[in-house]
Amino acid sequence: MANQVKSIGVIGLGSMGMGAAKSCVTAGLDVYGIDLNNKALQELSEFGAKAVSNNALDFSDQLDAVLVLVVNSKQVNMVLFDTGLAASLKPGTVVMVSATISAEDAKNIEQKLKEHQLIMLDAPVSGGAAKAATGDMTIMASGSTLAFEKLQPVLDATAAKVYNIGEQIGLGATVKIIHQLLAGVHIAVGAEAMALAARANIPLDLMYDVVTNAAGNSWMFENRMKHVVDGDYSPKSMVDIFVKDLNLVADTAKELKFPLPLSSTALNMFLSASNAGFGQEDDSAVIKIFDGIELPGVEK
């Protein structure tokens, strides 16, 4: 059995990263937290992290593994390579990249990590902040048997389900992108249905109750349309995240010369919402692109 990791640096303590980091602390791992947000660092420190910092170089020699939970490939490249972190990690350190990125980006990142004798697991995650907090994320990962073996304690701590998609880096990223096609379309169609209900003067809390107890429900409808009913668009996941993710879906389809009529429409809906100034609001704010309706908590 490969030497399993004992100490892990978690880069990106947002809603998912914080949950994953705390789950690793609870599982008895030595956790080092890295984020630009000092409030997040303080929260993780008080929870029991070994150390926290704005700069991963402060303890890079202590780490057996790094979990990268940032937003996009640009940020992944920045935290691993622009900072000099990859160059300062011990050879054989395993890097778990859990951002939603393209398969091509994942392969490029692996190449650069190899130059520093580092091992990569292409490991996007799903489940939202709530599942991250309880250590019940779903991880769809690809990489070497060695990477999976070394990271076993981290995977056990953070996930209820780990799918091994294969050895090739990029397969995990692709499965996540296909999943995001569904997630984005479900939010968009949920918003369309609730907008129609508003237009028909059906109380939205009633419509929500009906759908969540009937066959048209989805996890995304149940989770996100509750925000619409409550009139609360404080971002758990932002409109602009789905602009990014559905663009990754579109890029993947373009590469495969494959038509995606529904996700193309959903992407345009999220683009409209971002263009109208709702990009930093919760992704359920895509409903605000519909005119001629009154929504709870939204002033016309």
pLDDT given for residue 129 in this prediction: 87
CA dist., res. 226 & res. 191, Å (int): 11
Distance of CA 101 to the CA centre of its chain: 10
Q: How far apart are CA 159 and CA 156, in angstroms?
A: 6
Predicted pLDDT at 1: 54
Please give the domain boundaries of the chain with CATH numbers for all domains: 7-168 (3.40.50.720), 175-289 (1.10.1040.10)
Q: Write out pLDDT tens, residues 117-163.
A: 999 999 999 998 889 999 999 999 999 999 999 999 999 999 999 99
Please list the active-site residues.
176
Local confidence band at 49 (pLDDT 50, 70, 90 cut-offs): very high
List pLDDT tens digits, range 207-219: 999 999 999 999 9
Residue 295's pLDDT band, with cuts at 50, 70 and 90, is very high
Task: Check residue 15 and give its pLDDT.
Answer: 86
pLDDT of res. 2: 64
Query: Would you state the pLDDT for residue 299?
Result: 80
* Pairing assessment for the beta strands 119-122 and 137-143 based on DSSP bridges: antiparallel
Q: Identify residue 162 by its one-letter amino acid code.
A: V
Residue-wise pLDDT for 88-102, tens only, equals 999 999 999 999 999
Q: Is the pLDDT of residue 80 over 70?
A: yes
pLDDT in tens, 51-74: 999 999 999 999 999 999 999 999
What is the CA 91 to chain-centroid distance, rounded? Answer: 27
Of the candidates 274, 250, 273, 248, the residue with the CA atom closest to the CA atom of residue 261: 250
Pair of tokens at residue 218: 């989805």
Q: Give the total residue count for the chain.
A: 300
103-117 per-position pLDDT tens digit: 999 999 999 999 999
Kindly give, in sequence order, each residue whose CB lies less than 8 Å from that of residue 118, ignoring residues fewer than 6 positions away: 86, 89, 91, 92, 93, 94, 95
Q: Which of 211, 238, 210, 208 is nearest to 225 (CA)?
A: 208
Q: 43: Cβ–Cβ under 8 A, 6 or more apart, which residues?
A: 13, 18
Contacts of 100 (CB under 8 A, 6+ apart): 72, 124, 173, 176, 177, 180, 244, 245, 248
Counting beta carbons within 10 angstroms of the beta carbon of residue 273, is it exposed (0 to 12), middle (13 to 18) or buried (19 or more)?
buried
Element (H, E) at 168: none
Which pLDDT belongs to residue 116? 98
